[in-house]
Amino acid sequence: MHKLKNLVPQSIKNIYHLFQAILANFWYGFPTRKLKVIGITGTDGKTTTAQMVTKILEEAGKKVAMASTINFRINGEEKKNLSHFTTLSSFAAQKFAKQAVEAGCEYLILETSSHSLDQYRVWGIDYKAAVITNVTREHLDYHKTMEKYRRAKAKLFRKANVAIVNLDMEKPEDFLQFKNNKKITYSLKNKKADFFAENIETGLSGSVFQVLNFRFQLHIPGDFNIENALAAVSVANSEGIDLETCARALEKIKGVPGRMEYVENNRGLNILVDFALTPIALEKLYTLLLKIKKPQARIIAVFGSCGERDRGKRPIMGEVVSRYADFVIVTNDEPYHEDPTQIINEIAAGVKDKKENENFWIIPDRREAIIKALQLAQPDDIIAVTGMGAEESMIVGDQKIPWNDRQVILEELEKIK
pLDDT at residue 138 in the model: 80
pLDDT at residue 57 in the model: 99
Tell me if 266 is assigned to some domain. Answer: yes
> Is-contact 308 277, C-beta < 8 A?
no
Closest C-alpha to 386, from 275, 280, 222: 275
From first to last of its 417 residues, what are the pLDDT tens digits of the chain?
A: 555 566 777 888 888 989 999 999 999 999 999 999 999 999 999 999 999 999 999 999 999 999 999 899 999 999 988 776 767 889 999 999 999 999 999 999 999 999 999 999 999 999 999 999 999 878 777 888 989 999 999 999 999 999 999 999 999 999 999 999 999 999 999 999 999 999 999 888 899 999 999 999 999 999 999 999 999 999 999 999 999 999 999 999 999 999 999 999 998 999 999 999 999 999 999 999 999 999 999 999 999 999 988 899 999 999 999 999 999 999 999 999 999 999 999 999 999 999 999 999 999 999 999 999 999 999 999 999 999 999 999 999 989 999 999 999 999 999 986
- Of the three residues 207, 226, 251, the one that is the final residue of a domain is 251
φ, ψ of residue 347 in degrees (nearest 5): -70, -50
- Beta carbons within 8 Å of 398's beta carbon, 6+ residues apart: 2, 337
- The answer to whether residues 245 and 113 belong to one domain is yes
- The answer to whether residues 23 and 165 belong to one domain is yes
Beta bridge partners of 197: 211
Q: For strand 360-362 and strand 327-330, is the pairing parallel, antiparallel, or unpaired?
A: parallel
DSSP string, 204-232: TTEEEEEETTEEEEESS-SHHHHHHHHHH
> Is-contact 187 230, C-beta < 8 A?
yes
The CATH number of residue 142's host domain is: 3.40.1190.10
- The answer to whether residues 184 and 332 belong to one domain is no
Q: Residue 352: which domain range? A: 261-416
Distance CA 329, CA 375 (A): 12
Tell me if 241 is assigned to some domain. Answer: yes
> Is-contact 130 46, C-beta < 8 A?
no
Closest C-alpha to 385, from 315, 303, 327, 298: 303
- Of the three residues 201, 232, 251, the one that is the final residue of a domain is 251
Closest C-alpha to 315, from 137, 77, 82: 137
φ, ψ of residue 209 in degrees (nearest 5): -155, 170
∠ CA 386-218-195, nearest 5°, is 105
- Beta carbons within 8 Å of 28's beta carbon, 6+ residues apart: 94, 95, 97, 98
> Is-contact 359 390, C-beta < 8 A?
no
DSSP string, 144-202: -SHHHHHHHHHGGGSS-SEEEEETTSS-GGGGT-S--SEEEEEESS-TTSSEEEEEEEE
Cα distance between the two ends of the chain: 46
- The answer to whether residues 144 and 239 belong to one domain is yes
E strand spans, 27-134: 36-41, 64-67, 71-74, 77-80, 107-111, 127-132
Task: Give residue 265's region: left, alpha or beta (phi > 0; psi -120 to 50).
Answer: beta
How far apart, in Å, are the Cα atoms of 259 and each of 44, 48, 50, 140, 262? Answer: 11, 7, 13, 23, 9
What is the four-CA torsion angle of 82, 222, 141, 302, rounded to 10 degrees? -70
Q: Hey, what long-range contacts does 253-257 have (CB within 8 A, 24 or more apart)?
A: 253/51, 253/52, 253/55, 253/218, 253/219, 253/220, 254/219, 255/219, 255/220, 256/47, 256/48, 256/51, 256/70, 256/220, 257/70, 257/71, 257/389, 257/390, 257/406
- The answer to whether residues 290 and 375 belong to one domain is yes
Tell me if 76 is assigned to some domain. Answer: yes
- The answer to whether residues 142 and 194 belong to one domain is yes
Report if pTM > 0.85.
yes
- The answer to whether residues 233 and 265 belong to one domain is no
**Count of domains observed in the chain:** 2
- The answer to whether residues 207 and 327 belong to one domain is no
- Beta-carbon-side half-sphere exposure of residue 140 (alpha carbons within 13 Å): 13
Question: Environment class of residue 109 by beta-carbon count within 10 Å: exposed (0-12), middle (13-18) or buried (19+)?
Answer: buried
- The answer to whether residues 406 and 351 belong to one domain is yes
- The answer to whether residues 341 and 402 belong to one domain is yes
- The answer to whether residues 325 and 239 belong to one domain is no
pLDDT at residue 417 in the model: 64
Tell me if 2 is assigned to some domain. Answer: no
Tell me if 277 is assigned to some domain. Answer: yes
- Of the three residues 216, 233, 251, the one that is the final residue of a domain is 251
Beta bridge partners of 216: 209
pLDDT at residue 9 in the model: 79
The CATH number of residue 329's host domain is: 3.90.190.20
At 145, which amino acid appears? Answer: T
Tell me if 54 is assigned to some domain. Answer: yes
Beta bridge partners of 78: 73
pLDDT at residue 139 in the model: 76
